[in-house]
């Protein structure tokens, strides 16, 4: 017998949750960049933030059917 989880997120809801999580991570990286000690450290945090923002943008795009 196969058991199913009590709640199943739809693909759209999963993507929305992912988008929010990615935007939160990007915001954290921006905060860390603001308090970075060196320009190299700041650049690294900003690059990581840009990566999270790109993932959030991809998650926000409509699903292709």
State pLDDT tens for residues 11-47: 778 878 899 999 999 999 999 999 999 999 999 999 9
Domain that holds residue 41: 22-60
DSSP letters of the chain? -----S----HHHHHHHHHHHHHHHHHHHHHHHHT-SSHHHHHHHHHHHHHHHHHHHHHHSPPP-
Q: Tell me whether residue 52 is in a domain.
A: yes
Q: Tell me whether residue 13 is in a domain.
A: no
Q: Tell me whether residue 8 is in a domain.
A: no
Q: Tell me whether residue 39 is in a domain.
A: yes
- For the full predicted model, state whether its pTM sits above 0.85: no
Q: How many domains does the chain have?
A: 1
Q: Tell me whether residue 9 is in a domain.
A: no
43 to 12, 13, 34, 35, 48: CA distances (angstroms): 33, 33, 10, 12, 9
Is the pLDDT confidence value at 56 over 70?
Answer: yes
Cβ atoms 30, 46 nearer than 8 A: yes
Q: Tell me whether residue 17 is in a domain.
A: no
């Amino acid at each position: 017998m196969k058991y199913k989880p009590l709640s199943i997120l739809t693909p759209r809801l999963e993507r929305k949750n992912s988008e929010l999580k990615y935007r939160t991570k990007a915001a954290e990286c921006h905060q860390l960049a603001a308090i970075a000690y060196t320009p190299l450290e700041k650049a690294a945090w900003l690059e990581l933030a840009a990566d999270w923002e790109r993932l959030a943008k991809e998650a926000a795009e409509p699903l292709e059917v």
